[in-house]
Amino acid sequence: MSEEQKASLDATLRQRPFDLSGDLTALRAGFDEVMRHIPVADDVEKTRIDFGGVGALEISIRGTNSSRVILYFHGGVYVIGSADATVPLASDLARRFNAKVVSVDYRLAPEDPYPAALEDAKAAYEGLLSQGILPRNIAFAGESAGAGLAIALLLTLKSAAMSMPSSAFLMSPYADLTLSGKSIVDKRDLDPLFTEEVLRIRVSDYVARADRSNPLISPIYGDLSGLPPLLVQVGSHELLLSDAIRLAERAAEDDVAVILDVTPGVPHVFQGYAAFLDEGDAALNRAAEFLALHFSRPSN
């Protein structure tokens, strides 16, 4: 069944409803509109919250009351996406991980380039800590640009000698905005979602006048020592496959506990299709085990 599921998903995605190189206002509105129509279970509760001006959406499952918090960062190459659009996947994580998900509406480029998103991410984490939530009860999670942002936040916390969360779960991280990964070329015909050209257009929106190889923009160039355990999941049909591999490589070389978990034949952030893609379901189950293991340990 799964081969059929993969083929069907690939065909659907190749219709490319969202041209990331197009007008951003229309693109953002259209993306959020589509995501709003993805069915979400009746027991999903959403509460809008605010961390000193940084908006976020708290997503939880009615009737559950866990002390665990997933601080979640959405994808969208830093120019589109929103906390609202994460509700389908974030609520799935809340249920599987037995946690409350706090999905951050960080500022987007080009209106607000680097380091705006990172400042907002840090404000959200500090907001959780100021509520008395212990770092060991927090995990970071993110997809695509949001996964890159999660690593950039970990590097920022390290520099500031702040407490680390228990672990981080990174789905298809966008971790090299110099676009130097070999999969950018090698997986060109296999990735149903992205093209190098579109990525290239949007890189400058976020980077602006900063250096693309700044580790807070492209964490594969960072010193990752001291980071908490990382789970990196990626599909093999991705332009960003090499980002995931090199992030795990860097972490391994820097003595970080890291698991790189590659699922063949699936696209970018395939976990978002877990409802009808067996590989997505299985990957999220593995992620739930990983997070639970590290939640139960003392914080770093």
Footprint of a second copy on this chain (CB under 8 A)?
182-183, 186, 234, 236, 241, 245, 248-249, 251-253, 255-265, 289
Q: Which is nearer to a second copy, 186 or 223 (CB)?
A: 186
C-alpha–C-alpha distance, residues 62 and 216, integer Å: 36
Q: Which is nearer to a second copy, 116 or 262 (CB)?
A: 262
Q: Which of 60, 166, 172, 238 is catalytic?
A: 238
C-alpha–C-alpha distance, residues 144 and 83, integer Å: 14
Q: How far is the CB of 70 from a second copy (least distance, A)?
A: 21
Active site residue 238: yes
Spell out the alpha helix ranges (H) of the chain. 2-13, 24-36, 87-97, 116-130, 145-159, 183-186, 196-207, 241-253, 278-295
Q: Which is nearer to a second copy, 93 or 251 (CB)?
A: 251
Q: Which is nearer to a second copy, 33 or 196 (CB)?
A: 196
Tell me if 206 sits within 8 A of 217, measured CB to CB: yes
Q: How far is the CB of 255 from a second copy (least distance, A)?
A: 4
CB atoms within 10 A of CB 234: 29
C-alpha–C-alpha distance, residues 173 and 218, integer Å: 10
Active site residue 144: yes
Q: How far is the CB of 184 from a second copy (least distance, A)?
A: 12
Q: Which is nearer to a second copy, 117 or 230 (CB)?
A: 230
Decide the pairing of beta strands 230-235 and 167-171. Answer: parallel
How many helices (H) and strands (E) in the chain?
Answer: 9, 8
Q: How far is the CB of 72 from a second copy (least distance, A)?
A: 23
**Dihedral sign for Cα atoms in the order 263, 267, 269, 272:** negative
Beta-bridge partners for 70? 101, 139
Q: How far is the CB of 292 from a second copy (least distance, A)?
A: 13
Q: Which of 103, 144, 166, 167 is catalytic?
A: 144
C-alpha–C-alpha distance, residues 197 and 107, integer Å: 24
Tell me if 114 sits within 8 A of 79, measured CB to CB: no
Active centre residues (catalytic): 144, 238
